Amino acid sequence: MAGTIEVNEGALGDDPKGARGPGGGVLGRVWKGAVEGIGPVVLALIAGGLLLLVLGRDPISFYGHIVRAGLVNKSGLQDTVIRMAPLLLMAGGLIVAFQGGIWNIGGDGQFLMGAALAAGFGPAFMAAMPVWSSLFLLCVIGTIAGGLLTIIPAVLKARYGVNEIISSLMMSFIGINLANLLIKGPFRSTKTLVPQTDVVPFAKLLPPIPGTRIHVGIVVALILIFLVYDVMKRTSLGLKLRLLGANPRAARHAGLNNSRLIVGAFMVSGAFMGLAGSVEILGVWGYMRADWNPNFGLALFALVFLARLNALATIPLVGFYAAFSIGGHSAARAAGLPDDFMLIIIGLVLLFMALSEYLKERRSGSSGLLLRVLRSLRELRTDE
């Protein structure tokens, strides 16, 4: 072919320079990855601390409260681990999509559809069949619902090249409002004035790990995260996805079926989101109220990019975010601040992550994640 096909090795997830260069051993790469991942978080905490000083609050006391409430306190630590279950599942879904260069922005809608169906069908299923069968079937329904919600943006992108940032975002609005419609309509409980589903009995929720109140959803999430890592790093399917994400033209010239990969990766990504919603309902709440939306998607974007789309690296980052989230709300209340203050910290993490990535790519001259995001946004503006 006359045209030059560029395939960035770094974009494929490997780092041959780092492996061969000085200090490029496993420990060196782990240290480098830790510094690059934690650096933006530390800078965001410093900036947040300065903002707290401006607001007349003590940042040391504020962050200390977060650590005590989210990690040191036994109950808070268990809440942190419980919060990690849906976050890890959603992070796994984002990694599958992002590795293929697919920007699945509609995770919140897919999450809520899985949650609404699990909450709506839960009480009836529990009354009609054994608990384990009900839990399994409800998780399957949520998984399928999340995957189905990605079909339209997936087909539009695969067949017509429609930018999925807009189409998946629009489908997210549909998913969020369809979930609310279900809760306020066919799934609405007749036992309360508040629009919500009937409650699954506490004894029939996902069972806890012995000696704790942490439900087994965290075990499922960790198994799937390891599975995502293994597939991405050690299988031909993972290599195909990374090649697709790095350079679709090269993938096509290599004989890959790009359309099939796009649709498949999109649906798997949505399935992870739907399963996360089911696990959150069946492990924590047992019911769902209308207009409930934890909005996990925005924060997870930052976390998976900080982890360089490495599934295993998301585990400590998700743990950090979960502890920060659980402890942060308590700290914000104690400091007389609204919960929205935590969103400012998340925004600062995103900002410093983007700056860090930009400087890194500028030094190396490579085309990494940030430039891939910017390229997608430029394509979106061109389409407009």
The per-residue pLDDT for range 263-296, each reduced to its tens digit, is 999 999 999 999 999 999 999 999 999 989 888 8
Question: Which string of b and e fits 27-66 if b means at least 16 CB within 10 Å?
Answer: eeeeeebeeebeebbebbbebbbeebeeeebebeebbebb
For tokens 């998984």, the residue is: 143
Q: What is the pLDDT of residue 15?
A: 47
Quickly count: other Cβ atoms within 10 Å of residue 223's Cβ.
10
Q: What is the pLDDT of residue 382?
A: 54
pLDDT interval class at 27 (50, 70, 90): low
Residue 254 confidence (pLDDT) above 50: yes
**Which one, of 101, 126, 86, 148, lies nearest residue 295 by Cα?**
86
Q: What is the pLDDT of residue 306?
A: 78
Q: What is the mean pLDDT of residues 252-272?
A: 93
Tens digit of pLDDT for each residue in 196-208? 999 999 899 999 9
Across the chain, where does the E strand assignment appear?
none
Q: What is the pLDDT of residue 367?
A: 56
What does pTM read for this prediction?
0.84
pLDDT interval class at 97 (50, 70, 90): very high
Q: What is the pLDDT of residue 2?
A: 41
Report how far residue 158's alpha carbon sits from residue 155's, in angstroms, rounded to the nearest whole number. 5
Q: What is the pLDDT of residue 300?
A: 86
For tokens 């599975």, the residue is: 227
Q: What is the mean pLDDT of residues 164-189?
A: 93
* Coil, helix or strand at residue 289: strand
**More confidently predicted of 349 and 226:** 226
Residue 9 confidence (pLDDT) above 70: no
pLDDT interval class at 16 (50, 70, 90): very low
pLDDT interval class at 192 (50, 70, 90): confident
Report how far residue 242's alpha carbon sits from residue 17's, in angstroms, rounded to the nearest whole number. 18
Residue 7 confidence (pLDDT) above 60: no
Residue 158 confidence (pLDDT) above 80: yes
Q: What is the mean pLDDT of residues 137-143?
A: 96
Q: Both tokens of residue 383?
A: 């389409």
Tens digit of pLDDT for each residue in 28-50? 666 666 666 677 788 888 888 89
pLDDT interval class at 18 (50, 70, 90): very low
Residue 5 confidence (pLDDT) above 50: no
Q: What is the pLDDT of residue 17?
A: 44
For residue 292, count CB atoms less than 10 angstroms from its CB and return exposed for 0-12, middle for 13-18, buried for 19 or more.
middle
